[in-house]
A and B are shown apart, each in its own frame.
Chain A
Amino acid sequence: MTGQSIIRCASVLCLLLPVSLLAQGRGGGRAGQPASPKAAAPVDLTGYWVSIVTEDWRFRMVTPKKGDYPSIPLNAEGRKVADAWDPAKDAASGNACKSYGAANLLRNPGRLHITWENDDTLRIDTDAGTQTRLLHFGAVSSSTGVQTGEPQWQGVSVAQWELPGPGGRRAAAVSGGDLKSITTHMRPGYLQKNGVPYSGNAVLTEYFHRTVEDNGDSWLIVTTIVEDPQYLTTPFLRSTHFKKEADGSKWDPSPCEAQ
């Protein structure tokens, strides 16, 4: 191969490469600075999303009777707690929001409003129960301004983007990705409105995917895995789907209901 032909070949290959491979990242700051999570988002999750309740209807749209939890892998301790559910007592003691904690929040039929709280924090507001979740990218500590004190209904969530390709590093010209979030430090709550418990030691792992269909519909698919050996025999696996709405005109905040 002559020198001239090598240079020609390399030039052609350069032209074929997408610009993103050569760039440091979209919207990056000063040269050498990594892009912020907001700037580096491989998928846009922001906007208004509405629950489409085609699964577990009578466990979500209405409150099931006490003791009705056929789908949940409870152990004996969990069943004991669930069978002692007393919604009046929950309401009286300021625990009406027990089924609106992070491990079950997205199962409550309602709408989500997802925005960027700042470049490093994704915010999820729900109209059902008027709750707010903050998903923090990067390390969580007092220096980042994130509360790590008393457990809260929504716990503390640490998020990261997952990119397609080997080792999670995005290969050239491959789009897409999803959001992974791990939540701990939750106040004990309910996996189902009729008192099915999760403990303060539960770990919630979530994966947020977005699809765009040929007919213009866009779906948010959230896979949730709750690990809680205190009450569950196995990891508790659910997936919930939401449809994109054009705006917040149907946003309808309502308080937590114990029953």
Chain B
Amino acid sequence: MKLRSFTIAARCGLVVVAAATAFAQSGNDEVHALQVRPNVYMLVGAGGNITALVGADGVLLVDTGLARNADKVLAAIRKLSDKPVMYIVNTHFHADHTGGNEKIGATGSFPTGGNVAGDLADVGKGAEIFAHENVLNRMSAAKSGVPVAAQPTETYHTEDLRLSPTFHFGEAVQLIHIPSAHTDGDSLVYFRRADVIATGDIFTPDGYPFIDLESGGNVNGVIAGLNKILDIAFPDFRLEGGTMIVPGHGRLCDIADVAYYRDMVTIVRDRVQDQIKKGKTLEQIKAAKLTLDYDPRYGTVPGSTDRFIEAIYKSLTQKK
């Protein structure tokens, strides 16, 4: 039993490392901020993309990048605001999106009151960390090695979680759960007033989606998540601009970019599905080069094409 748990955890770790490697933003990990709205920024170069909502009293971050880049992230935030990081929202549990939770979270604080203020020594210290319940489950698992200080402090298990604008810099922040997509704990983070969506790794326009089957991911969930983004997003004239979309990795996007990506994932899924119906094995399907038309655009990381095909195959053939 212990060996099996260790093996699973080791595989998770490997998968996380592979994900971080596959989606490294730049060779030198410099963190750059790109203004998306007057009060919303995209930070690139920390591992996964980070979205920063800058308010009069503090900063809310969606994801925190790799642990080794936390200082650089903080330095980048300091250029945008001298206020504390009060809130962190994690789109999922992978280390390239949560690695900075502990160090960055420790610099902040958030308001409390009611029954707990003054009674508990550490209440209000550190940023409040929001995520889906399954993120906490994975990060708090015995073998995860994730410190408590890095784990979510507020979770949800329903379809969504809405954060009050009063306490979140006047912004209506909505976390929308997408089941069984990149992982089993994915959230889209929708800034309704700024009209920005942070997608986590459901949408990664620089490469094929990485579907973490071991962590409950499934290609159909990824497609559902992409379609959900398309349902929410509102384009401006001629399908350009309007809702801006911060992907898990890659450049700033809008609805058209998501639609292209959705089309690709759906088409490849359909092709694999067709081959499965025809009784082909996984090796035969890989050999059929069903992604030849997309490989030079999305399959530039060695091994990513085979991983993608395999993830689709297993998504479609796994017993429910």
Direct contact of A and B (CB under 8 A): no
Contact surface of A with B, Cβ cutoff 8 Å: none
